[in-house]
Amino acid sequence: MENSTLLSLANNYGCPLYVYDAERIIFQYNRLTKAFAGNNPLQINYATKALSNISVLKLLKSLGSNLDCVSIGEVLLGLEAGFEPKRISYTPNGVSMKELEEVQHLGAKITIDNLYTLRLFAEKFPDASVSIRINPQIMAGGNEKISVGHVNSKFGILKQHMEEVHRIVEETGINIIGVHMHTGSDILDVDIFLKGSEVLMGIAKEFENLEFIDFGGGFKVPYKEGDKSTNIELFAEKFKLRFSEFCEEYGRNLIMVFEPGKFLVSECGYFLAKVNTIKPSTNIVFVALDTGFNHLIRPMYYNAYHNITNISKPEGKEKKYNIVGYICETDTFAQEREISEISAGDILCFHNAGAYCFSMASNYNSRYLPAEVLFYKGKDYLIREAETFKDILRNQTKIELPL
């Protein structure tokens, strides 16, 4: 998106502000489906947790996407966005039986990732059809907090526990229609995906009634100039051949499922913030913004890199700055980052702000959540209003204790 367009949106809606380029989402979705098109049916389950605004969900529905949901709230959002229950896959971790029962009654597809829950669910719903999440015991991902397929991860059933899975199936009659894995996020190496796929297909052979195999997501996207990303086309070329061979061995075609989140929405997002103050220190210049980790926590939580540009003065002389927020704790977005010379009142733009940015935001320090805008073919659409003080008080009750 052009700087002039982003500045216009900042002036119209105020800062801080999240802006999403719908055409980028469409491009990424079409790129993925084109790469994996072939003899076997393909199903894309968008990872709702990446960016869960209902208007974004409706956009992805119009493209043909299904949903991957990890909570009852996300399932309800999907239904509200118009998805049929059968197009929603529910892949939670550590949830209560009560929540699983609610989702079962709503009709979404359920994936279970531990033996204890599988047995409880199977005894309650012996006629149900579910998938199971496998832990492939592979360490992969851009950060230890987003590596979820290694042996010490809380996610998935270990392959050495498959004997117990078969015992539960035999004793209850529950039908296993899919196997699932998700190794991690920001995975660059195509061979890591292929290695995990081999583990999953090896386990899939143990079940006779499969309809699909869900290979998860985790494709890496570029965050800065010169940054590498997953070669989707290369992976698809290798993977499709291997999956076709597997289906021939299995005896019928299964649906190949992927559940991308960041790949579809990361690059569509722009987070705009205004400079409050410039504070020189001994050998550091601090730039304080009208935002903090309450709105964008990824740099502090994951040590994630977001390219930051001064869209008010993009051609200015570059200087080094520490970009910080207004939260009453250390909330540093970037250290000694070279950015076009910054003045108070300038608008800074955080790129790659579509995935796990607004969806991880909070009201910490009693700050308001910002507005969200969807931009498509030259027109902007407000898809979430900025919060006000009334939103902070909503659901709170005032009482007077009898002291």
Residue stretches of the annotated binding site for substrate: 298, 302, 329, 356
- Amino acid code (one letter) for 176: I
Measured in degrees and rounded to the nearest 5, phi and psi for residue 16 equal -70, 160
Q: DSSP string of 43-78?
A: EEEEEGGG---HHHHHHHHHHT-EEEESSHHHHHHH
12: Cβ–Cβ under 8 A, 6 or more apart, which residues?
Answer: 380
Which residues carry a binding-site annotation for pyridoxal 5'-phosphate?
218, 356
Question: Binding site membership: which residues?
Answer: 218, 298, 302, 329, 356
- What is the C-alpha to C-alpha distance for residues 97 and 117, in angstroms, rounded to an integer? 7
In whole angstroms, what is the distance from residue 9 CA to residue 4 CA?
Answer: 9
What is the C-alpha separation between 19 and 371, in angstroms, rounded? 9
Tokens 């907090």 — which residue? Answer: 145
3-state secondary structure of 292: coil
Of the listed 69, 247, 328, 349, which one is catalytic? 328
Q: How far apart are CA 324 and CA 139, in angstroms?
A: 32
Task: Round to whole Å and give the CA distance between 121 and 343.
Answer: 59
Assess whether 268 carries a catalytic annotation.
no
Burial 103-142 (b: 16+ CB within 10 A, else e): bbebebbbbbbbbebbbebbeebeebebbbbbbbbbebbb
Output DSSP code: residue 34: H
Catalytic residues: 328
